[in-house]
Structure 1
Amino acid sequence: MSGERQGGPARAALYWAPELDDPLHGLGSTWLGRDAETGAPLSQPQLPGLDLPALTADPRGYGLHATLKPPFRLAGLYAAMREEAAALAAGTAPFDLPPLELASFGGFLALRESAPCPALQGLADACVATLDVHRAPPTGEEIARRRPERLDPAGRYNLHRWGYPQVFGAWRFHVTLTQRLTPDQDAVIRPALLAHLGEVSARPRRVTSLCLFTQAAPGAPFLIAERLPLGA
């Protein structure tokens, strides 16, 4: 991939994603209908009376993940950003992720950690702050899309300073698995999703890499460009 901004990805992001040998990778990708590692489309479960492809359209485009540093346009060279992200990962010790559980998150169904994880918060904070020099400032359109008039003062500050409202103390780990649902949709999808995932989400897992996702062009799906190993 080209390191030059004009020839590189439209946007990059730093995410957590399950490792390839974690059953959550396969089950979660199948649920969303796309493998962010390969880009391959996947056949989704059939839910009577519901259009699951439509109800997973947004998270499918971003890939199975939890956001650490939200998608950003590059201010300079992709190679420089990638090098700093790799150094951040190498300087971070692997850590245990608490068991995940399915929960409603702003009307979406998402996997959340079952207990606070200071190491996870620290990694998210470091991704936002350390790599911010590589982020191009948001355009007026990008700011407007976040509805700043609906944000509290801290959210508006974060949006203008860091490009996203929910960072640092406002950040919450979540692996989004649906669009926003009505109560009737939730009543059908939640038990189906719990059955689909089984006990996999609650399994112990170790965070051993930082995932660099990229978007080739505006509107294109995000793909895992590289899994940067943790190593301190």
Structure 2
Amino acid sequence: MSRQRYALYYAPAVDSALWRFGSAALGYDALTGEDIPFAVPAGCDGSEWPALTDEPRRYGFHATLKAPFELADGRSEDQLRAFARNYAAGLDGVTLSGLSVTALGSFIALTPSEPSEDLQRFAFALVQAFEPFRAPLAEADRARRLKSPLTPAQRAYLEAYGYPYVGDAFRFHMTLTGSLPAERVGPIRQSLEAAYAAAVPPGTVALDRFALFRQDGREARFRLLDSYQLG
């Protein structure tokens, strides 16, 4: 039986328009752990939308800060939650100028409309702070990661933090689809862009919290366990 995994994500307030939009796009509410009706963007085929969003649905609507990890020996969930609560209390939030619907290779995600050095520093500091809770990366997970083309720096990050896309390799993104056929990326991005504009008021986005998610087995979906207000 596989062990539980935890992840530190940015997830917006569950009563926000952003959370409702992202959860409905994926058809899954990570707070309740329940399927919800899909908000299929105009121009997209409702019959195929569940398959197009299958992969991100497993993780819930989020942006990764510290990627999924098993707990280190001698560490407990209660200790992790207490540390997260105390850590959040000492942090200042980060304000983004906005989010844009973006094609990242073969999938679609929300990304910051403008770069933010404050966000980069915030994310890397969090990754480092929670390292004592992360068990060493399993060989199967390391091998899976090494199948991707990684730079020397990304390989070093993988060995140090169990994930290659941290530090200067970090890119904040809130995934909305799985991998799409090349000819579908542009049209689906445009459809999601229109849906996002209709559902979420324009303006700045406050990263005023981070969330702890838990997965009870490798085949299970992640659930939102706790959300920690910053400051």
Aligned residue in 1 for 2:57: 60
Aligned residue in 1 for 2:69: 72
Matches of 1:95 and 1:149, distance apart in 2: 31
Aligned residue in 2 for 1:186: 185
Amino acid at match of 2:49: L
**Deviation at residue 119 of structure 1 after TM alignment:** 2.7
Q: What whole-Å deviation, never above 9, does each CA across 1:114-170 have from its counterpart, x for those lacking one?
A: 112233222211221010011000111000111257222111111111100101110
Aligned residue in 1 for 2:165: 166
Identity of aligned residues (%): 39
| Uncovered stretches (5+) of structure 2, i.e. residues with no partner | none
Mapped contact 2:214–2:222 kept (Cα < 8 A): yes
Aligned residue in 1 for 2:85: 86
Mapped contact 1:68–1:123 kept (Cα < 8 A): no
C-alpha change, 1:150 and 1:94, in structure 2 (3 Å) is closer
Amino acid at match of 2:154: G
Q: TM-score, normalised by structure 2?
A: 0.90
Mapped contact 2:157–2:166 kept (Cα < 8 A): yes
Aligned residue in 1 for 2:102: 103
Matches of 1:74 and 1:184, distance apart in 2: 41
**Deviation at residue 184 of structure 1 after TM alignment:** 2.1
Aligned residue in 2 for 1:41: 35
Matches of 2:68 and 2:188, distance apart in 1: 28
Aligned residue in 2 for 1:3: none
Pairing partner for 2:16 from 22, 26, 34: 22
Q: Which moved more, 1:115-124 or 1:26-35?
A: 115-124
3-state SS of 1:150 partner: coil
Matches of 1:71 and 1:44, distance apart in 2: 26
Amino acid at match of 1:80: Q
Mapped contact 1:110–1:174 kept (Cα < 8 A): yes
Aligned residue in 1 for 2:144: 145
3-state SS of 1:29 partner: helix
1:184-223 aligned within 5 A: 184-199=183-198, 200=200, 202-223=202-223
Mapped contact 2:103–2:185 kept (Cα < 8 A): no
> How many pairs align?
225
| Uncovered stretches (5+) of structure 1, i.e. residues with no partner | 1-5
Matches of 2:216 and 2:37, distance apart in 1: 24
Amino acid at match of 1:104: A
What is the root-mean-square deviation of aligned Cα atoms in Å? 2.0
3-state SS of 1:62 partner: coil
Matches of 1:210 and 1:182, distance apart in 2: 32
Amino acid at match of 1:134: F
Matches of 1:106 and 1:132, distance apart in 2: 29
Mapped contact 1:99–1:201 kept (Cα < 8 A): no
Mapped contact 2:8–2:66 kept (Cα < 8 A): yes
